[in-house]
Structure 1
Amino acid sequence: MDITPAIQDHLEERLGKIVTDLEGMIDVHAILSVEKYRHKAEITVKGKGVTFHSEDETKDLYGAIDSTVEKLDKQLKKHRDKIKEKRPKHGATIKDLPIQ
């Protein structure tokens, strides 16, 4: 399948919104395929110790790209929330603790 400039621009635009927020992401790999009436999009994002993968298949290639990116965005948000929960809360320091 040949990738048209319009498809490439759409993919870069959709991925650009979520990938720019990520720190340390090393590689983004997208596979687009068409089999008769099935359009499939697979996207893998690799970073420091983490890999996110999403894929979807629809009747429209643009729809497949959009839904795949949405699934990937949900995974990334879940990962960010998980990291935030593990960080120590600001405001409490050792100096503030009562001495016994």
Structure 2
Amino acid sequence: MNFTITGHHVEVTPALHDYVTEKVERVLRHFDHATSAQIILRVERNTHKAEVTVHVKGKDFFAEATDPADLYAAIDAMIDKLDRQVRKHKEIVTNHHQPAAPAAQGE
């Protein structure tokens, strides 16, 4: 899995890099088909914004969140949104509503 973490008007410190990487890996642990993730952290005026784009085979997931005071809170909200999307996609992919196979009769 390739992670690209960039910062716009904010320096991506090693602690911030490790925090984001750990959170994204925890979400994508449920889904094995992810190939890359691009994370953008921004500070615009007095708003902290976090965005993530995850590329999987056949689909891309995008989530963003803002927080007026804390970048870590924006990251946590973004991860919650991404987690909901990944779980919903996983439910769709693994369809549990398939009809049961007919029982084999021994003749």
Where on the TM-score scale, by shorter chain, does this alignment land: which range?
Answer: 0.7 to 0.9
Aligned partners of 1:29 and 1:49: how far apart in 2? 17
Q: Select 2:50's aligned residue among 41, 56, 59.
A: 41
C-alpha offsets along residues 28-63 of structure 1, whole Å, 9 cap, x if unaligned?
Answer: 010000012100000010110011000011121000
Instruction: Give the alignment's TM-score, normalised by structure 1.
Output: 0.84
Aligned residue type for 1:21 = H
List alignment gaps of at least 5 residues for structure 1.
none
Aligned partners of 1:87 and 1:28: how far apart in 2? 31
2:85 counterpart of 1:71? no
Q: Which is bigger in relative contact order (C-alpha 8 A, separation at least 6)?
A: 2
Q: Secondary structure at the match of 2:30?
A: coil
Aligned partners of 1:40 and 1:16: how far apart in 2? 20
Percent identity (aligned): 34
Provide the residue aligned with 2:101 in structure 1.
93
Provide the residue aligned with 1:8 in structure 2.
17
The runs of 4+ residues in structure 1 deviating greater than 3 Å are 86-89
Instruction: Give the alignment's TM-score, normalised by structure 2.
Output: 0.79
List alignment gaps of at least 5 residues for structure 2.
1-9
Aligned residue type for 1:93 = A
**Relative to total residues, which structure has the larger strand share, 1 or 2?**
2
